[in-house]
């Protein structure tokens, strides 16, 4: 069942189409990757989902009903890319403040904060000030304040920036835990290796438009170029034009081949066996999301150009 | 609990708990007193005691007359010099004088300007005491010559006095009204500037700490701004009530300690003030203009804070026009106190940007004597409408500005943000 449905969302700023007719569906319990180059419109899209901006056109369906920013923000936890905390405020009070702004009662907030602080070994921090924390510690606190009120939808914008590998893993594990516990997570980034690791479903936006939508597996299948790696005990120097594949390169001691249109792996294997070689590995190489991302986005200017609006 | 109250509580508590708040609340009245007494002290200290040689050719200034005057006032000493006049004129320092005065052979009917000759510069204030002494002697000589006795002198001293008296408002006392008006106007001026810029700094802090977007994902930017303005307004109000409490404590302690010197003098003065003006009305109006004026200016300062980045200079250049309005108001206030029913006073107390200061300076002169009811009501309504507008206007700018990083916007761009449809 869908937790969030965006229908033909549009948001223009002056002459710039920040979000130009985007529709997408986020299922309950999904870890959803929202990808795109800088300035693609990700932040604007997220700001509409979090009720910070109103869409010019289109609508947002949240949990089966029309999205009501005032009521529904309590069910959303948002960690923006431009994030921070009050430097001079004590950590415990700060977490209490943000939790109460999300609508938790005093006692409820307190017990939840205690639980999370214990989980992240932050118990002794309560009376410290944010300015005394290291950047990584601050990020952990920020994450806690984002998920504290047990939101149905958690939106994380570049959650790992500024974190060392240990803390990154800690947060990553928590993201999996939360998803397992039934939370839905929208994960916005342009770091593709993290997306492959974490997300089940991704959407790629560029210049305010959605250009890709699907599961990580499905997308990789869609973009595969029939490239395989072959490990065998003899060199493959001369490939005749009649062969069902062509040689495109080498990875370490393996050959990289592309299977020609109309042929399949079986034909290739048969051909290679006929040559009398002994094959010890034969794998399909799927494109990485990074490759797909670059391929799709390449050629578009890095900085967004102003486009005229034809309203 | 309503979210706006959570914000107000945070804004209020973080400020009131700060050491600087406690210190400034205690220190401000002390500093104020120190300033008053300190200035008196410095004035006292800086008086110069001059030792003056008098070379008299008229024969009026005799040694006994001078010594009598020297006894009466030891701030300066005038010594008659006749025998060794030449040596004094040659080098008065060596002879032990700060300078000398030569009195030519003048007649009592006609004086002459005298010169205090010295080898360094003196201001007129330093020779005032000497001048006064010589004039006391000179007047006595003239009176003797004119045969004016003390009875005739009293008759001569009689003067006609003109004192302003408001017949519409019998209790109004111009002198106290002036003092109270000045104090009220000045306090509002201080609060607008100090707490207005606190709002601006607070908003800037949220931007530089990058917490703004975290907060606006929970509350509307307008609630966030309003919470801040109200929270800081409450801090100002608290500080204010504490000061009033101090004054009342001093008043009561003074009253309890009986009629001894300064304390009873002060208590008496305060009692006079309390009876000569309409205290409840003034307090009510003060509360109103203080809050309404604060909303008016604080929302503008808040909008500016949201529009700029961490750079303090940007904030200063953008807030300059707003600060200017406050400063112009205080200039108008002086004119309004000098002529509380003049056109500057009337218009200044109706136009919203100056009305909190100017109207508050006029009210102690009497309502409805000096300030007719229609003016007061008009001024209040205009101010309410205006701050509703500025709060709305600031909210629009705030909503866009708080999430903007980068170039400092111009006033023109701010207008665009404010009047964009959503």
Nearest CA to B234 among B1, B5, B3, B2?
B5
Given A73, A82, A145, which is nearest B210 (Cβ)?
A82
Interface contact flag, B209 A102, Cβ < 8 Å: no
- What does the alpha-carbon distance between residue A172 and residue A180 come to, in Å, rounded to a whole number? 12
Of the pLDDT bands very low, low, confident and very high (cuts 50, 70, 90), residue A270 is: confident
Q: What are phi and psi of B13, to 5 degrees?
A: -65, -40
The residue ranges of every structural domain in chain A are: 2-221, 225-285
Q: What are phi and psi of B331, to 5 degrees?
A: -65, -40
Task: Provide the mean pLDDT of chain B.
Answer: 84
Interface contact flag, B218 A73, Cβ < 8 Å: yes
pLDDT at B378: 94
β partners of residue A9 = A22
- What does the alpha-carbon distance between residue B91 and residue B88 come to, in Å, rounded to a whole number? 5
- What does the alpha-carbon distance between residue B123 and residue A86 come to, in Å, rounded to a whole number? 56
pLDDT at B300: 92
pLDDT at A113: 92
- C-alpha count within 13 angstroms, C-beta hemisphere, residue B215: 29
Q: Which residues on A lie below 8 Å from B14 (Cβ)? A: 88-89
Q: What percent of chain B has pLDDT over 70?
A: 92
**Considering only CB atoms, which residues of chain A are within 8 Å of chain B?**
47, 50-52, 54, 69-70, 73, 76, 78-80, 82-89, 97-98, 100-103, 142, 145
Number of helices (H), then strands (E), belonging to chain B: the values are 16, 4
Interface contact flag, A145 B213, Cβ < 8 Å: no
Model pTM score: 0.76
Residue B310 has pLDDT above 80, yes or no: no
Name the H helices within B209-256.
Answer: 212-216, 221-256
- What does the alpha-carbon distance between residue A302 and residue A146 come to, in Å, rounded to a whole number? 31
β partners of residue A78 = A155
Of the pLDDT bands very low, low, confident and very high (cuts 50, 70, 90), residue B263 is: low
Reported as a single tens digit per residue, the pLDDT across B126-176 is: 788 888 888 888 888 888 888 888 888 888 888 888 876 666 655 556 777
Which residue has tokens 């001894």? B260
Q: Are A222 and A69 a contacting pair, CB within 8 Å?
A: no
- Asked if B213 is an interface residue toward chain A (Cβ–Cβ < 8 A), one would say yes
Q: What percent of chain A has pLDDT over 90?
A: 20
Q: Burial of B289 by CB count in 10 Å (0-12 exposed, 13-18 middle, 19+ buried)?
A: buried
Q: Output the CA–CA distances (angstroms, integers) from residue B114 to A101, B50, B106, B125, in the order listed.
A: 80, 16, 11, 15
- What does the alpha-carbon distance between residue A210 and residue A16 come to, in Å, rounded to a whole number? 16
pLDDT at B265: 67
Residue A12 has pLDDT above 50, yes or no: yes
Nearest CA to A169 among A192, A146, A200, A136?
A136
Q: Burial of B161 by CB count in 10 Å (0-12 exposed, 13-18 middle, 19+ buried)?
A: exposed
Of the pLDDT bands very low, low, confident and very high (cuts 50, 70, 90), residue A107 is: very high
pLDDT at B170: 52
Q: Are A306 and A17 a contacting pair, CB within 8 Å?
A: no
Task: Provide the CATH topology of domain A225-285.
Answer: Alpha-Beta Plaits (3.30.70)
- Asked if B201 is an interface residue toward chain A (Cβ–Cβ < 8 A), one would say no
Reported as a single tens digit per residue, the pLDDT across B199-258 is: 999 999 888 888 888 898 888 888 999 999 999 999 999 988 888 888 778 777 777 765
Q: What percent of chain A has pLDDT over 70?
A: 95
Q: Which residues on B lie below 8 Å from A73 (Cβ)? A: 217-219
Residue B269 has pLDDT above 60, yes or no: yes
Q: How many other C-beta atoms are found inside a 10 Å radius of the C-beta of residue B164? A: 11
Interface contact flag, A98 B217, Cβ < 8 Å: no
DSSP conformation letters of A59-75? EEEETTEE--HHHHGGG
Task: Provide the CATH topology of domain A2-221.
Answer: Rossmann fold (3.40.50)
Of the pLDDT bands very low, low, confident and very high (cuts 50, 70, 90), residue B313 is: confident
Q: What sign does the CA torsion over A84, A5, A15, B389 have?
A: negative
Residue B45 has pLDDT above 80, yes or no: no
As a whole number, mean pLDDT of residues B282-307 equals 91
pLDDT at B41: 75
Coil vs helix vs strand at B57 = coil
Residue A311 has pLDDT above 50, yes or no: no
Q: Which of A64-68, B44-48, B350-354 is the least confident region?
A: B44-48
Interface contact flag, B211 A83, Cβ < 8 Å: yes
Residues 323-352 on B with a CB inside 8 Å of A are none
- What does the alpha-carbon distance between residue B188 and residue B289 come to, in Å, rounded to a whole number? 8
Query: Euclidean distance between the first and final Cα of chain B, in Å?
Result: 28
- C-alpha count within 13 angstroms, C-beta hemisphere, residue B45: 6
Nearest CA in chain B to A49: B217
Interface contact flag, A52 B218, Cβ < 8 Å: no
Maximum pairwise Cα distance, chain A: 76
From the centroid of its chain, how far is CA A296? 16
- Asked if B128 is an interface residue toward chain A (Cβ–Cβ < 8 A), one would say no
Q: Answer with the residue of higher pLDDT: B405 or B81.
A: B81
Q: What percent of chain B has pLDDT over 90?
A: 23
- Asked if B218 is an interface residue toward chain A (Cβ–Cβ < 8 A), one would say yes
Name the H helices within A153-288.
Answer: 165-180, 192-198, 216-222, 265-274
Interface contact flag, A80 B214, Cβ < 8 Å: yes
CA distance B359 to chain A (A): 39
As a whole number, mean pLDDT of residues B180-207 equals 89
Helix axes B355-362, B312-338, angle to 10 degrees: 30
Task: Provide the mean pLDDT of chain A.
Answer: 85
Q: What sign does the CA torsion over A102, A108, A113, A116 have?
A: negative
Q: What are phi and psi of B148, to 5 degrees?
A: -100, 115
As a whole number, mean pLDDT of residues B285-290 equals 91
Q: Which of A2-11, B142-151, B288-297 is the least confident region?
A: B142-151
CA distance A132 to chain B (A): 14
Q: What sign does the CA torsion over B12, B15, B18, B21 have?
A: negative
Reported as a single tens digit per residue, the pLDDT across B356-377 is: 999 988 888 877 777 888 999 9
Reported as a single tens digit per residue, the pLDDT across B78-103 is: 888 877 777 778 788 887 888 888 88
Residue A308 has pLDDT above 60, yes or no: no
Task: Provide the CATH topology of domain B47-147.
Answer: D-Maltodextrin-Binding Protein; domain 2 (3.40.190)
Length of chain A: 311
Cis peptide before B103 (omega within 30 of 0): no
Q: Testing the interface with B: which of A80, A105, A156, A186 to mutate, by most B Cβ within 10 A? A: A80
The residue ranges of every structural domain in chain B are: 47-147, 172-419
Residues 3-42 on B with a CB inside 8 Å of A are 3, 6-7, 10, 14
A115-135 as b/e, with b when 16 or more CB fall inside 10 Å? ebbeebebeebeeebbeebee
- What does the alpha-carbon distance between residue A104 and residue A52 come to, in Å, rounded to a whole number? 20
Contacts of B409 (CB under 8 A, 6+ apart): B307, B401, B417
Residue A301 has pLDDT above 60, yes or no: no
Q: Answer with the residue of higher pLDDT: B40 or A10.
A: A10
Interface contact flag, B213 A83, Cβ < 8 Å: yes
- What does the alpha-carbon distance between residue A265 and residue A245 come to, in Å, rounded to a whole number? 9
DSSP conformation letters of B148-179? --HHHHHHHH---------SSSTT--HHHHHH
Contacts of A22 (CB under 8 A, 6+ apart): A6, A8, A9, A10, A41, A45, A58, A205, A208, A209, A210
pLDDT at B173: 67
What region does A29 belong to: left with phi over 0, alpha with psi -120 to 50, or beta?
A: left
CA distance A118 to chain B (A): 23
Reported as a single tens digit per residue, the pLDDT across A236-260 is: 767 777 788 888 888 887 888 888 8
Given B1, B209, B217, which is nearest A50 (Cβ)?
B217
Residue A294 has pLDDT above 90, yes or no: no
pLDDT at B51: 85
Of the pLDDT bands very low, low, confident and very high (cuts 50, 70, 90), residue B60 is: confident
The reply to whether domains A2-221 and A225-285 share a CATH topology is no
């Amino acid at each position: 069942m869908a937790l969030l449905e965006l229908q033909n969302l549009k948001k223009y700023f002056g002459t710039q189409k920040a979000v130009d007719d985007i529709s997408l569906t986020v299922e309950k319990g999904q870890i959803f990757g929202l990808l795109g180059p800088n300035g693609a419109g990700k932040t604007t899209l997220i700001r509409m989902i979090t009720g910070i901006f109103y869409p010019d056109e289109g609508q947002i369906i949240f949990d089966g009903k029309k999205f009501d920013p005032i009521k529904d923000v309590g069910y959303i936890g948002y960690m923006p890319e431009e994030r921070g905390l009050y430097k001079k405020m004590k950590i415990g009070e700060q977490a209490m403040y943000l939790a109460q702004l999300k609508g938790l009662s005093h006692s409820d907030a307190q017990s939840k904060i205690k639980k999370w602080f214990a989980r992240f070994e932050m118990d002794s921090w309560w009376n410290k000030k944010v300015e005394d924390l290291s950047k990584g510690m601050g990020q952990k606190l920020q994450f806690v304040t984002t998920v504290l009120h047990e939101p149905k939808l958690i939106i994380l914008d570049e959650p790992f920036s500024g974190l060392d590998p240990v803390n990154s893993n800690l947060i990553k594990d928590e993201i999996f835990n939360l998803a397992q516990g039934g939370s839905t997570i929208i994960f916005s980034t342009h770091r593709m290796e993290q997306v492959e690791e974490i997300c089940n479903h991704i959407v790629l936006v560029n210049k305010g438009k959605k250009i890709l939508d699907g599961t990580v597996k499905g997308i990789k299948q869609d973009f595969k170029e029939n490239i395989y790696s072959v490990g065998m005990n003899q060199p493959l120097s001369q490939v005749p034009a009649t062969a069902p594949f062509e040689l495109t390169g080498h990875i370490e001691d393996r050959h990289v081949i592309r299977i020609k249109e109309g042929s399949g792996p079986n034909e290739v294997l048969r051909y290679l066996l006929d040559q009398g070689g002994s094959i010890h590995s034969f794998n399909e190489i799927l494109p990485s999301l990074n490759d797909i991302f670059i391929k799709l986005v390449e050629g578009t200017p890095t900085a967004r150009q102003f486009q005229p609006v034809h309203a | 609990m309503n979210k706006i109250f959570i914000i107000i509580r945070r804004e209020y508590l973080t400020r009131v708990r700060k050491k600087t708040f406690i210190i400034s609340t205690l220190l401000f009245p002390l500093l104020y007193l120190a300033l008053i007494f300190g200035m008196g002290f410095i004035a006292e200290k800086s008086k110069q005691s001059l030792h003056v040689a008098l070379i008299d050719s008229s024969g009026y200034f005799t040694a006994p007359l001078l010594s009598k005057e020297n006894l009466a006032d030891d701030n300066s000493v005038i010594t008659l010099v006749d025998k060794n006049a030449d040596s004094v004129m040659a080098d008065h320092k060596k002879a032990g004088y700060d300078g000398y005065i030569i009195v030519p052979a003048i007649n009592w009917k006609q004086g002459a300007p005298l010169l205090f000759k010295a080898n360094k510069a003196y201001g007129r204030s330093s020779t005032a005491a000497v001048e006064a002494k010589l004039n006391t002697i000179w007047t006595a000589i003239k009176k003797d010559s004119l045969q004016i006795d003390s009875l005739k002198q009293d008759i001569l001293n009689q003067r006609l006095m003109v004192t302003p008296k408001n017949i519409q408002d019998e209790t109004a006392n111009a002198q106290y009204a002036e003092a109270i008006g000045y104090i009220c106007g000045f306090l509002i001026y201080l609060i607008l500037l100090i707490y207005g810029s606190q709002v601006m700094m607070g908003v800037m802090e949220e931007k530089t700490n990058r917490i703004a977007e975290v907060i606006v994902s929970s509350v509307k930017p307008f609630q966030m701004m309003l919470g801040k303005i109200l929270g800081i307004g409450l801090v100002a109000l608290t500080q204010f009530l504490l000061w009033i409490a101090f004054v009342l404590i001093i008043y009561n302690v003074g009253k309890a300690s009986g009629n001894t010197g300064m304390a009873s003098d002060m208590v008496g003065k305060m009692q006079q003030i309390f009876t000569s003006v309409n205290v409840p009305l003034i307090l009510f109006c003060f509360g109103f203009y203080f809050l309404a004026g604060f909303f008016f200016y604080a929302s503008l300062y808040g909008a500016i804070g949201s529009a700029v980045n961490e750079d303090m200079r940007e904030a200063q250049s953008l807030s300059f026009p707003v600060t200017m309005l406050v400063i112009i108001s205080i200039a108008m206030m002086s004119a309004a106190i000098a002529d509380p029913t003049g056109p500057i006073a009337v218009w200044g107390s109706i136009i919203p940007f100056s009305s909190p200061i100017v109207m508050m300076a006029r009210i102690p002169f009497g309502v409805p004597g000096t300030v007719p009811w229609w003016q007061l009501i008009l001024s209040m309504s205009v101010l309410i409408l205006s701050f509703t507008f500025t709060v709305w206007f600031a909210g629009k700018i705030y909503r866009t500005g708080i999430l903007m990083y980068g170039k400092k916007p111009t006033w023109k761009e701010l207008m665009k943000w404010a009047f964009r449809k959503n």
